[in-house]
Amino acid sequence: MCGIAGFIGSKEAAPIVVGALTKLEYRGYDSAGLATVSDNRLWVRKDIGKLPEVCDKHQLNKLPGLCGIGHVRWATHGGVTSANAHPHLDCRKRIAVVHNGVIENYKELKLRLGHKHTFTSNTDTEMVAHLIEEYMALGDSIEEATLQVTRELKGSYALAVVSATEPDKLVATRKDSR
């Protein structure tokens, strides 16, 4: 089962997010990842394996920034691969999304995005990052863009979103999911 965590504050986010993800270990998962925001860029590391393995291999605790999101995944859409591990990014690698749940209409939304975006995974989550990218390109803030996207989603979900263009914000929302 998937789990997400996020933190924004006056301390380094990575150790706090990793600590929160550690508390989700009992649920079982196949991959883990983290995205932090520092110096107006995203720092993203993710891989298959248990959280301690991914932490050791990619030094997750050392990712810089006071804002971060993380994920432990149990595959529901797409196989167990590094590409399918969360967080997922937009085309410019400026927006990161982690997701727990199932987006039932992701295929239709992905088709609507067409060939304007490059998809690197087989998940329902990556489409959310690209939809947020679309709305932010029109001038929406990360909050407004995420709200617009949630109006289009069918299914249950919990989402956490960060953006390098708005480094002092972390957006979280949910519908019928925890």
pLDDT in tens, 46-80: 999 999 999 999 999 999 999 999 999 877 777 88
Question: What is 3-175's CATH number, 3.60.20.10, 3.40.50.150, 3.40.50.2300, 3.20.20.70?
Answer: 3.60.20.10
- H-helix or E-strand containing 130? helix 125-137
* Mean pLDDT value of segment 9-19: 97
Give the neighbor-by-neighbor strand order of the sheet with 170-175: 88-89, 95-103, 155-163, 170-175
Beta bridge partners of 98: 160
Tell me how far apart the alpha carbons of residues 59 and 45 are, in angstroms, rounded to a whole number: 8
pTM as predicted: 0.95
By C-alpha distance, which of 85, 124, 91, 118 is closest to 106?
A: 124
Q: What's the farthest any 2 CA atoms get from each other in the chain?
A: 41
Note the pLDDT tens digit of each residue in 85-120: 999 999 999 999 999 999 999 999 999 998 899 999
Read off φ and ψ for residue 77, nearest 5 degrees. -120, 115
Domain ranges in the chain are 3-175
C-alpha dist (Å) from residue 148 to 16, 50, 88: 29, 34, 18
Read off φ and ψ for residue 3, nearest 5 degrees. -155, 145
Tell me how far apart the alpha carbons of residues 97 and 57 are, in angstroms, rounded to a whole number: 22
